[in-house]
């Protein structure tokens, strides 16, 4: 996410490039609110996973059930990354996990409004962490899991035995 300060000052959201959960899978992106959202407004960075209309949607089971794990990277090294998993479970409201049929992206994403406090983004000498460097945040998708019960119904009958 480039231009963090501009996004924060404008109180807008930034969308990551789209990614597929797996070959033939669901299309998603991350929505990052530099100035926070909900209980994180004005104090935190908020991150949400958003479903998108994808080319495989007619072959997939809906609503989406799975988890997206991402990290906000410490730009000073390979330690102290902030890692979070966003789970789309049976308790997730349908507005966040239903198939996108209007527009290219779900109207809202599912996630966490308090990923990291604004005060923790700058260089911290004690921990050797710096999440905001050169006005940019670096986020990485670590893994996407599709809940097994969601996949089982998609497998051919010979595979279930």
Could you give the percent of the chain with pLDDT greater than 90? Answer: 86
pLDDT (mean) for 115-128: 96
Q: SS3 breakdown of the chain: % helix, strand, coil, rounded to 5?
A: 20, 35, 45
The pLDDT assigned to 155 comes to 42
Q: Is the pLDDT of residue 160 over 90?
A: no
Could you give the percent of the chain with pLDDT greater than 70? Answer: 91
Over its C-alpha atoms, the chain yields an Rg (Å, rounded) of: 17
Task: Tell me the CA distances in angstroms from 58 to 20, 26, 101, 107, 132, one per residue in order.
Answer: 15, 10, 11, 20, 39
pTM: 0.88
Give the model confidence (pLDDT) of 6-58 as tens digits: 999 999 999 999 999 999 999 999 999 999 999 999 999 999 999 999 999 99
């Amino acid at each position: 996410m480039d231009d963090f300060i501009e996004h924060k000052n404008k109180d807008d959201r930034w969308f990551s490039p789209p990614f597929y959960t797996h070959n033939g899978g669901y299309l998603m992106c991350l929505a990052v609110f530099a100035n926070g959202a909900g209980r994180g407004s004005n104090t935190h960075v908020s991150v949400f996973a958003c479903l998108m209309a994808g080319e495989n949607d007619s072959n997939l089971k809906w609503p989406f059930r799975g988890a997206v794990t991402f990290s906000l990277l410490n730009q000073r090294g390979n330690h102290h990354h902030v890692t979070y998993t966003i789970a789309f479970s049976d308790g997730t409201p349908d507005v966040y996990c239903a198939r996108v049929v209007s527009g290219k992206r779900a109207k809202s994403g599912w996630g966490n409004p308090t990923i990291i406090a604004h005060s923790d983004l700058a260089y911290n000498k004690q921990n050797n962490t710096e999440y905001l460097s050169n006005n940019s945040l670096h986020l990485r998708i670590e893994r996407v899991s599709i809940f097994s019960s969601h996949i089982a119904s998609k497998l051919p009958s010979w595979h279930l035995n």
